[in-house]
Structure 1
Amino acid sequence: MNRTLLRGARVITMTPGRPDAEHVDILVDGDCIAEIGQDLEAADAETVDLTGRVIIPGLVNAHLHTWQTGLRAVGADWTLLEYLTHLHGSAVQHYTPDDMYVSNLAGALNQINCGTTTLGDWCHNSLTPGHADGAVEGLVHAGIRAVFLHGTPYRDPDLPHPLAEVDRLLDGPVRDHDLLTLGMAVQGPQYSSSHTAVADFRAAHARGLVVSLHQSGGVLAPGWEAVRDAGLFGPRTNVVHGSDLPDGWVKRLVDAGVTFTSTPENELGQGHGTPVTGSLLRHGAAPSLGTDVETVVPGQVLTAARMALAHQRGLDHAHRQNTGTHAHTPSITAKQALAWATVEGARALGLADQVGRIEPGMQADLVAVDTRALNLWPAHHPIAAALHADIANIEAVMIAGRWRKRDHALVHSGLDEVRDRLQESGERLLHAMDAA
């Protein structure tokens, strides 16, 4: 098996009990982290000098509709209603399996370029088995670790999730790939009848799958109480957005172990409601982060982390100013924000035992941030330097012990062809949407 020894960097392990940043070496053996320590020796390993860099766990983008990559930025000025009208009311019906493939391939490659090693691909445009297979194939060819959250276009509230398709994916296209896991992207209690919501949750539980759902403000539908009364909310339940959930419900869900994913840039820009971060922090929990839709906002999860941090600090400062008392210490820290993009993302996707931290036995999903660049140097605060990094600072990305980005460039052949296919796909879909 391939062995790689990483030397010279300051390492942010995100492991409880360890220093925030430390000068240690990392030995990678195959797809796992074998050892962490000072002055490690491994004569049979490739040694990589990363002096002047900061190594962090691979970032986790816990919520992205990757299938929309070909229509990148067309909805930069859309409200949420316009997005639903144009994208889900018009464009979805024109997608082919090849559109799904190239959007997922290009979208996943972009995530790797941004330092994301694990992606929660919320694929609610699986029109046919061919569409789902195209999306899965795109993820596989990109080489990213992903949870493929199978979903369908919006449908009648009484129609249950297509379980035959879930089982087909479990038995073949997903099972066959080590970096891929299956989950269910359900309409959930807000957009399904009570009976259907309970049935979908039970189906996910029976298969041991993460079940993820949208909730974007408004009066809670009866399905929430039905799922609660059935005892189906738990650690493998993921609520996306959770905007304006009543505080009592947030506490109830947190106590049940439910995870939350906030997509702050899109939530604030399109009108989903106030990000749930503050409510979670009050109850001793924290969000994971996603970027949601590249039809509207960029796909950099570090940007999402900084926005979530700044927005919540702003709310906290405003509250304190209203009382006439200014804060003497920050309400939340840069380390917490980085944890939202690593540790919490892994937990939300059911992968906390594999990724999100740097420690022996975990998967070797690592990102090297080049802090020698003028926008980060001198890196007095390594965690802040990592949090403030841009794409140009992401020097190298390793997934399961394999380099997917090296020397500031993706390790993937045929990028020009990917770009050409993505442009053709996007232009055709945009034309069809405009015509409608």
Structure 2
Amino acid sequence: MGCNAMNKILIKNAHLISMDDNIGDLLDTDILINDGTIERVEPSISTEAEIIDAKNYLICPGFINGHIHTWQTGLRGIATDWTLSDYLASIHAGLASFYEPDDMYIGNYIGALYQINTGSTTIVDWCHNNPTPDHTDAAINGLIDSKVRGIFLHGSPKHKPKEGMPHYSEIPHPQDEIIRLKKGYFSDEDMLTLGMAVLGPQQSTLEVCKSDFTLARDLNLIISMHVGGNFLTPHGFSVLKEENLLNNNTNIVHANNIPNEMLDLLVDSSCTFSITPEEELQMGFGNPLTKRLIERGGTFNFGSDIESAMAADMQNVIRFALQAVRHEFTLENYERNHSPPSSMSVTTRQAFEWLTIGAAKSFGIDGKVGSITPGKKADLIMFKKNKINFVPMHDPISSIVFHSNSNDVDTVIINGVILKRDGQLITKDLDAKLETLAVSGHRIMHQYREMQAMEKKEG
């Protein structure tokens, strides 16, 4: 079917940060969007379309949040003083078990809407609380209804096993469920892409690792795993490499303190890495992996991780990530030369690349998003240039990375659909949905505290 004017959006006179080396940064540029796709980027386009006057606006690609447990949106703020052991004991061995499918839906729906509100147009949803297919379906429907673009990484819960049941480290990822999802929700991957969130060598046996990685390879899925601390299968990655099961669909999360030899093996195998610096430093993981990956030419992205502990705005994440890695390079220079560095180790533009085209390359979606390029999907965001925190604007990228917050995101377009305009989300019944999230979160916390009280009484 041909597209009429109602399918077209023409953005006029924009200050463009394209993140496409062949286009660059341009003033007074027009962008024509046709049926969800960027059709033209050039001055003075004239055609019948919905017009957006972007004079005095910055336009850039939407941000990509490379690692977020969106289902935890209803637990905002409970983990700000938790250690890793607190988190594992309270979330996976406790709170997660009280989630009903409706809780998964509303957490993912509001969590994804919040990502849109902050300027993230693609999220990598590491969803590892799927005890039943109903929970999984609800989580996916929350993303669908929000209209966010995403990669849904299906994971299984890590509840304490009941007597006579195998430990979760001995249970392969549910193949039937992955195939069901692949044939159902993800038969069309225009907006959502399926992947697997697995235990990996740190938390599962070698047999389980082989089973999970083989399934991901056979279905051409991203396979992602948390890495850090002691390994249940220390030689797991070496065996997986020998069997040609490591590749650019293998995504490693955290991995702050893995030995150089293991890191070299993973980088050499084209694995990608997701870094969540705020959460990693809070919970004692050690320095983020950023510096070591830069030195090795590794492929990486950044994520907000858990809203139970911190805000999920990618502007906050990338500022924190950039200053943390600069600090590491500075310390190294002091050790070598007994002085601060004479030049900046990592630039603000590099950090902005991490948010956009670099993250897209991490997940193999750079042919679809990550830059404002004709032929790519129309996922872009707009900032007013005359905001009190932007004027005078000497460097647009510095303004976004170091001076912006979610309130500065004026307009968000995903797949050619305007989802935020004039600083307001375009959605129905938001107040009622927020109340549903509040009821869900309070009920889960109440049930968890009742369980704690019962255990204390019995203990």
What's the TM-score once normalised by structure 1's chain length? 0.97
| Alpha-carbon distance in structure 2 between the residues aligned to 1:433 and 1:9 | 50
Q: Could you report, residue by residue, the CA deviation over 1:82-107 in whole angstroms, capped at 9, with x for unpaired residues?
A: 01111111011110000000000000
Q: Quick one: distance in 1 between partners of 2:10 and 2:446? A: 50
Per the alignment, residue 337 of structure 1 pairs with 351
Residue in 2 that maps onto 1:401: 416
Given candidates 444, 447, 450, the residue that maps to 1:429 is: 444
The answer to whether residue 419 in structure 2 is matched with residue 414 in structure 1 is: no
1:193 aligns to what?
Answer: 205
Aligned to 1:89: 93
| 1:177 CA displacement | 6.3
Task: Quote the residue 2:161 is aligned against.
Answer: none
Amino acid of the residue matched to residue 426 of structure 1? G
Kept after mapping to 2: 8 A contact 1:11/1:55? yes
Q: What CA distance in whole angstroms lies between the structure 1 residues aligned with 2:120 and 2:168?
A: 34
For the residue of structure 1 that corresponds to 2:255, the secondary structure is strand
Question: What residue is the counterpart of 2:186 in the other structure?
Answer: 174
Q: What is the CA-CA distance between 1:248 and the residue it aligns to?
A: 2.7
Q: Does the 8 Å contact 2:19/2:61 carry over to 1?
A: yes
CA deviations over 1:335-378 (Å, ceiling 9, x no partner): 11111111222223331210111101000000102221111122
The alpha-carbon deviation at position 19 of structure 1 amounts to: 2.9
Match of 1:116 among 120, 127, 134: 120
The one-letter code matched in structure 2 to 1:112 is: I
Query: For residue 360 of structure 1, what is the amino acid of its counterpart?
Result: P
Q: Is the 8 A contact 1:148 1:181 kept in 2?
A: yes
- Given candidates 41, 46, 49, the residue that maps to 1:45 is 49
SS of the residue 1:244 aligns to = coil
Q: Which residue of 2 aligns with 1:307?
A: 320
- Residues 34 and 360 in structure 1, CA contact (< 8 A), matched pair in contact too: yes
Cα distance in 2 for residues equivalent to 1:177 and 1:168: 14
The 2-side partners of 1:127 and 1:252 are apart by 33
More displaced 10-residue stretch of structure 1: 132-141 or 45-54: 45-54
Question: Counterpart in 2 of 1:24?
Answer: 29
- Give 1:176 shift: 5.2
Q: What's the TM-score, normalizing by structure 2?
A: 0.92
Match of 2:281 in 1: 268
Provide the C-alpha distance between the structure 2 equivalents of 1:116 and 1:271, rounded to a whole number of angstroms. 27
**Which is further off, 128-137 or 195-204?**
195-204
Greater displacement, 342-351 / 96-105: 342-351
How do 1:54-133 and structure 2 match up within 5 A?
54-133=58-137
Match of 2:366 among 338, 349, 352: 352
User: Which residue matches 1:214?
Assistant: 226
Aligned AA (2:378): A
The residue type equivalent to 1:102 in the other structure is I
2:399 aligned residue: 385
- Is 1:13 the counterpart of 2:28 in the alignment? no
Q: Distance in 2 between matches of 1:245 and 1:369?
A: 39
Q: Distance in 1 between matches of 2:206 and 2:178?
A: 21
| Unpaired segments ≥5 residues, structure 2 | 159-166, 452-459
Amino acid at match of 1:165: E
Distance apart, 1:175 and its partner CA: 2.6
| Aligned residue number for residue 364 of structure 1 | 378
Q: Please give the alpha-carbon distance, in whole angstroms, between the structure 2 residues aligned to 1:56 and 1:248.
A: 38
Asked if 1:294 is matched to 2:307, the reply is yes
| Greater alpha carbon shift after TM alignment, 28-37 vs 344-353 | 344-353
* Paired letter, 1:64: I
Instruction: Give 3-state SS (helix, strand or coil) of 1:9's partner.
Output: strand
The residue number in structure 1 matching 2:267 is 254
- Specify the structure having the higher radius of gyration (Cα): 2
- SS of the residue corresponding to residue 140 of structure 1 reads helix
Aligned partners of 1:418, 1:345: CA distance in 2, in Å? Answer: 30
Post-superposition offset of 1:40: 1.9
State how far apart, in whole Å, the 2-side matches of 1:328 and 1:274 are: 23
Q: What is residue 216 of structure 2 aligned with on the other side?
A: 204
Instruction: Name the aligned partner's letter for residue 411 of structure 1.
Output: I
Aligned residue identity for 1:27: L
AA of the residue aligned to 1:37: E
Asked if 1 retains the 8 angstrom alpha-carbon contact of 2:124 and 2:151, the reply is: yes
Which amino acid counterpart does residue 137 of structure 1 have in structure 2? Answer: N
Alignment partner, residue 388 of structure 2: 374
The answer (yes or no) to whether the contact 1:259–1:347 under 8 Å persists in 2 is no
Residue 315 of structure 1: SS of its match in structure 2? helix
* Cα pair 2:13 2:27 within 8 Å, conserved: no
- Paired residues, number: 435
Letter matched to residue 410 of structure 1 = L
CA–CA separation in structure 1 for the residues paired with 2:128 and 2:275: 18
* Alpha-carbon contact 2:202-2:230 (below 8 Å) kept: no
CA 1:177–1:97 in 2, change beyond 3 Å: closer, same or farther?
A: farther
Once residues 216 and 83 of structure 2 are traced to their aligned partners in structure 1, the CA distance between those partners, rounded to angstroms, is 32
Shift, 1:39, TM fit: 1.7
Cα distance in 2 between the residues matched to 1:98 and 1:432: 16
Tell me which amino acid in the other structure corresponds to 2:226: H
SS at match of 1:287: strand
Whole-Å separation in 1 of the counterparts to 2:26 and 2:260: 35
Q: By how many angstroms is 1:209 displaced?
A: 0.6
Change (3 A) 1:22 1:192: farther
Q: Match of 1:136, as an amino acid?
A: I
> In the alignment, is the contact (CA less than 8 A) between 1:96 and 1:131 conserved in 2?
yes
Q: Is 2:299–2:362's contact at 8 Å kept on the other side of the alignment?
A: no
Per-residue deviation, 1:20:
4.4
Q: Is the 8 A contact 2:15 2:25 kept in 1?
A: no
Cα distance in 1 between the residues matched to 2:328 and 2:188: 46
Residues of 1 paired with 2:84 and 2:25: CA distance?
39
Rounded to whole Å, the distance in 2 between the matches of 1:161 and 1:21 is: 47
State how far apart, in whole Å, the 2-side matches of 1:176 and 1:9 are: 33
Following superposition, the deviation at residue 23 of structure 1 comes to 3.9
Q: Structure 1 pair 216/372, CA: closer, same or farther in 2 (3 Å)?
A: farther
**Within 2, Cα distance between the matches of 1:386 and 1:30?**
28
User: In angstroms, what is the RMSD of aligned CA positions?
Assistant: 1.4
Report Cα offsets for 1:21-77 as digits up to 9, x if no partner: 5442111111100011122222x1112111222111111111110011011111111
Instruction: For residues 369-402 of structure 1, give each alpha carbon's deviation from its aligned partner in whole angstroms, at most 9, with x where no partner exists.
Output: 2221111122210111121310110000000000
Taking structure 1 as reference, are residues 421 and 197 closer, same or farther at Cα in structure 2, changes over 3 Å only? same
Distance change >3 Å, CA 18–CA 177, structure 1 → 2: closer
